[in-house]
């Protein structure tokens, strides 16, 4: 896949809160959901942020062998689904895991049948779905801000036709 332009709010090259391991977190620019209590409200503007080339971002992942994967967050990554898919496919080619955060639910994504969204999903390992709900905010759940958000094993769910929860590794 050729490099594409993507508008980003920011990058974190050493995230430990956006999925397991040391991750390259890509915060996309643009979101129309306006969730109360959003942790990146400055990312909402559709024309803000910085325009980058997906290959520039993948080079950061390629050049840091300590990173275990890439996390696509936002803003709302599905607003730039094709560029996010290029990042996901590039990460998978490097044998890195791909996590995707979205305010949409799994059911909404499948029901809408948007080809670009479905192609992005097929390139992901884990989906953290659903909007952040300020009234249900918690710091007790790993990798999510409210309990309505689910960790979904994307590949197993697509194969089975049912939601398969992603199981975090248990350490004794």
85-98 average pLDDT score: 98
Give me the pLDDT at residue 37, please.
Answer: 84
CATH label of the domain that carries residue 39: 3.20.20.70
Secondary structure in 3-state letters for the chain = CCCCEEEEEEEEEEECCCCCCCEEEEEECCCCCCCCCCCCHHHCCCCCCEEEEHHHHHHHHHCCCCCCEEEEECCCHHHHHHHHHHHHHHHHHCCCEEEEECCCCHHHHHHHCCHHHHHHHHCCCEEEECCCCHHHCCCCCCCCCCCCCEEEEHHHHHHHCCCCECCCCCCC
The percent of residues in the chain predicted with pLDDT above 90, rounded, is 90
| Residue found under tokens 């801000």 | 145
Count the domains in the chain: 1
- Flag whether pLDDT at 1 surpasses 70: no
The stretch 98-105 carries a mean pLDDT of 97
pLDDT for 41 beyond 60: yes
pLDDT digits (tens, 9 = 90+) for 12-29: 999 999 999 999 999 999
Within a domain: 166: no
Residue 49: which domain range?
Answer: 5-160
Q: For residue 40, is it within any domain? A: yes
For residue 146, what pLDDT band results from cuts at 50, 70 and 90?
A: very high
Q: Is residue 170 part of a domain?
A: no
pLDDT digits (tens, 9 = 90+) for 66-79: 999 999 999 999 99
Nearest to 101 by CA among 22, 13, 40, 14: 40
């Amino acid at each position: 896949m050729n490099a594409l332009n993507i508008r980003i709010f920011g990058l974190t090259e050493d995230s430990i809160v956006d999925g397991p391991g040391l991750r390259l977190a890509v915060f996309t620019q643009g979101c129309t959901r306006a969730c109360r209590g959003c942790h990146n409200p400055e990312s909402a503007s559709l024309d803000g942020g910085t325009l980058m080339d997906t290959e520039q971002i993948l080079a950061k992942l390629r050049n840091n062998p300590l990173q275990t994967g890439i996390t696509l967050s936002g803003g709302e990554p599905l607003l730039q689904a094709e560029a996010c898919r290029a990042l996901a496919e590039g990460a998978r080619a490097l044998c890195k895991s791909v996590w995707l955060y979205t305010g949409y639910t799994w059911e909404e994504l499948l029901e809408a049948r948007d080809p670009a969204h479905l192609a992005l999903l097929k390139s992901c390992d884990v989906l953290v779905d659903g909007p952040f709900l300020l009234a249900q905010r918690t710091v007790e759940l790993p990798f999510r801000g409210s309990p309505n958000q689910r960790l979904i094993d994307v590949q197993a769910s697509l194969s089975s036709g049912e939601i398969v929860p992603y199981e975090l590794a248990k350490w004794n």
